Every structure is written in C-alpha cells, then in structure tokens.
Amino acid sequence: MNAFLYANAWLIITVVKVALLLFIVLTVNAYLTWFERKVVAHIQSRWGPHRVGPHGLLQPMADGLKFLFKEDPTPAGVDRFVYFLAPLLALALALTSIAIIPFGPDPLPWKILGQTIYLGILPPNVNIGILALFAITALGVYGVALAGWSSNSKYPLLGGLRSSAQMISYELALTLSVVGVLLIAGSFNLTEIINDQTSRYGILGWNIFPQFLGFICFFIAAVAETNRVPFDLPEAESELVAGFHTEYASFKFAMFFIAEYTSMITVSCLCAILFFGGWLSPFPATWTWTYYLPTVLLLPAGLWVIWDGLRYETIFGKVILPGIGAVMCILAIALVIFPGVNNFIQAPFWLLSKIFVFLFVYVWMRGTLPRLRYDQLMAFGWKMLLPVSIANVVVTSFAILRWGAIK
C-alpha cells in the first residue's frame, strides 16, 4: 500500500488539492453572496439577511438547498445536450482558471509522501501561467453564447448575442492592459511577476505606480468581463427578461452565478498579483511588528464575536457565535505560540487581504452605480479603453527601451 501511495504521490496530492480548492472556493462563493447582500443592504439602510441563522449566516445554505430542490423545467424544443452543457462549461472554466493562481511563495514546512506541497494547484515554475489563465477565461464566452442559442427562444438568443459581443469587446482591452506589467517583469510566470515587485521600501516597488493607467483599464475591463455593475447587461436582473439564462431554473441557473462569483475571485487575485505586489507586505521588511498583524486583527475580532453572541437575541446565536469567536481567539493565540506558523501565513494573509479589498469594491459598485446603456457600454470599450490600453503598451515599451527597467 505504501509503495502504491509513494508511486502515485503526485497524482494523489493533486486530486486532494483540487478537491480542497473546490470546497474552499464554493464555500467562499456561498458567503460572498451573503456578504454582498449585507453590504448592499447597509448601503441602502436595510438589514439584509438576518433570519436564517445568527446574522443570516445560514442564508447561503438555505439558498443552496432551494436551488437544489427547486422545480427544474426544460423548455420544449431546446438542444438538450448544449442546453445542459452551457452552465457546466461556464462553471468548469471559471473554476479551472482559479486553479492557476499561486497563493504563496513557500511550500508547506513538511513533506507529504515525499512531495513538496505548494499553496496552489500548479507548481510555481509554470512559465506560461498568465497566458494559460487568459486562454481559459477567453473560453467563458462559449457558456453564455451556447446558453442563449440552445434555449430555443428569441429572448435568450438576443441576450446571448448581446453578452458575447460585450465579453469579446472588453477582452481585448483586458489582455492589452496587462502587457505593460509583462514587459516590466519580463515573464509570464505569476510568481516571478510578484517577486519582480519586491522592494525594501514596501509598496514603492509595486506595479501600480508605473502601471496605474494599465490597472485602471484592467479593472474596468475585468468588471465588464465578469458581467458586474455597471456592465451587467448579460444578466440585467432588474429587467423583465434577464438575458441568456432566461430559460434556466434550479441548479443550472445557480451554476451561472457560481461561475460569475468565481470569476470575481479570479479577477481580484489577478489585480493583487499583477499590480499590488501579490503576497508581498505593503510595509518594509524592517518593520518586524507587522508580522503580528494577523494576531492583532484576529484576536479583537474573535472577542467581538463572543461578545456579540452572548447578547444575541436567539439561543442558536448565543451558542454558535461564541463558539466561532472562541475558535478565532485560539487561532490568534496559536500564531503567537508558534512563530513558524505565523511566518508561513504572512504571504497568504497579505494576498487574501488584497483579494478581499477588491471583492468589497465589486460589491460597493453594485450598491452605488447605475447600469450603462448598451451603446454606452460598447462605445466606452472600443473608443476609450482599447485605445488607452494600446497607448499604455506603447509608452511602457518606449520607457523600457529608453531608460531600462521601470521600478
């Protein structure tokens, strides 16, 4: 048995890592919906989810069960194979793209079955990481187009065409906007792009400073590519006829939105990696006190959750919330007791913190910005973003040729 495990160690570990990543991403997606509803509710002076579990924390579970057991009608005359393939394709491509993201530079401090374990599905020496990621995300348009075409209805068909045109248009600006970063780093490897931003002055070495224009173009194009406000023309959920997924219900309908939230996470990862130093700390390495920031943030948060739970109005909340707070406090104390663990989580901590900031911006935009008209959306993509992205590539290329590396 041991010989079999060691002979197939790489395959076994990869399968386990894929299963673990799927569990984490799907759980984060579920609570990202809760987070979005809570933030938008507070923006609009509402409560948001608060009935199912303490503070509505079990609302994602209730929504998942609703989608799972809801009636799932299939319209007459659909192309059944393509109709069922479209949501699966959209979800599979979104999940595959996030598998390319590295979440830390260092492997685990111990080996499993003789294998070095890195925080990511792929090893850090993949030299075409960004190309592979863009190649996968570019295929996402097929899920939308096939869903609209296979539904055998003119409304989803027109919605699919509208959505496909939007995604293809903004994909050009999205790809060109990162060329400046690739020219500066001289590599397609995501780990090397992060390491190239290393500076003993903290954030001054990040690509956001020489590539601020590229970042603006990238983020706007990414918001349109993920079909979010103010570019949410593919869904247009406030309209009577939503778009390409009008004829979908139950879990097939949910799969499209799981894919959308997964794409939001992928875009947030890319923003952090390409422009904001990835897992690099924003503070200089000489500021050793910043190594204790995870504990400083986690311990007060855990104490607040315990205090909130003790005064919660339901018995369920009085039991669950103090338990969650106690776990948070124990983890915070463990980081102090085990400095090796504290040092190891520094990189994932900073990367995940930056990802959370961009996810919050996504939600913030939904609660504040109105939707653009379709002609405004297309004109902005072709007449503004694309020329500016090309200009950014030209200026960056000239600067590198004239003055050498940009830092």
Confidence of residue 239 (pLDDT cuts 50, 70, 90): low
- Terminal Cα-to-Cα distance of the chain (whole angstroms): 53
Confidence of residue 238 (pLDDT cuts 50, 70, 90): low
Could you give the CA distance from residue 323 to residue 313 in angstroms, rounded to a whole number? 16
Confidence of residue 10 (pLDDT cuts 50, 70, 90): confident
11-44 in b/e form (b: 16+ CB < 10 A) is ebbeeebeeebeeebeebbbebbbbbbbbbbeee
Alpha-helix runs per DSSP H in 207-345: 212-225, 250-275, 293-310, 315-337, 339-344
Q: Domain spans of the chain?
A: 73-112+119-280+361-403, 293-333
Dihedral over Cα of 208, 209, 210, 215: its sign: positive
Contact call for residues 196 and 187 (beta carbons, < 8 A): yes
Length of the chain: 407
265-288 in b/e form (b: 16+ CB < 10 A) is bbbbbbbbbbbbbbbbbebeeeee
* Average predicted confidence (pLDDT) for the chain: 90
pLDDT of residue 79 exceeding 70: yes
Range name among 51-55, 243-247, 333-337 with the lowest pLDDT average: 243-247
Q: What is the CA radius of gyration of the chain?
A: 23
Confidence of residue 5 (pLDDT cuts 50, 70, 90): confident
pLDDT digits (tens, 9 = 90+) for 358-400: 999 999 999 999 888 888 999 999 999 999 999 999 999 999 9
**Mean pLDDT confidence for 34-56:** 92
Contact call for residues 206 and 181 (beta carbons, < 8 A): no
The H or E element containing residue 83 is helix 80-98
Closest of 214, 186, 131, 104 to residue 400, by C-alpha: 186
Could you give the CA distance from residue 48 to residue 33 in angstroms, rounded to a whole number? 11
**Mean pLDDT confidence for 278-300:** 90
CA distances to 184, 274, 407 from 199, in Å: 14, 15, 9
Range name among 96-105, 124-133, 188-197, 291-300 with the lowest pLDDT average: 124-133
Could you give the CA distance from residue 219 to residue 206 in angstroms, rounded to a whole number? 16
Give pLDDT, residue 207.
93
**Mean pLDDT confidence for 9-19:** 89
Give pLDDT, residue 327.
95
The H or E element containing residue 74 is none
Q: Residue type at 248?
A: Y
Q: Is 115 helix (H, G, I), strand (E, B) or coil?
A: strand
Q: How many CA atoms lie within 13 A of 159 on its CB side?
A: 27
**Mean pLDDT confidence for 248-255:** 91
Contact call for residues 192 and 288 (beta carbons, < 8 A): no
Q: Residue type at 372?
A: L
Tell me phi and psi for residue 112, to 5 degrees.
-120, 120
pLDDT of residue 31 exceeding 70: yes
Could you give the CA distance from residue 72 to residue 313 in angstroms, rounded to a whole number? 37
Could you give the CA distance from residue 391 to residue 361 in angstroms, rounded to a whole number? 26
Q: Which positions ≥6 away from 374 have C-beta within 8 Å?
A: 162, 166, 233
Burial degree of 144 (CB within 10 A; 0-12, 13-18, 19+): buried
Give pLDDT, residue 39.
95
Task: Please state whether the peptide bond connecting residue 230 to the residue before it is cis, i.e. omega within 30 degrees of 0.
Answer: yes
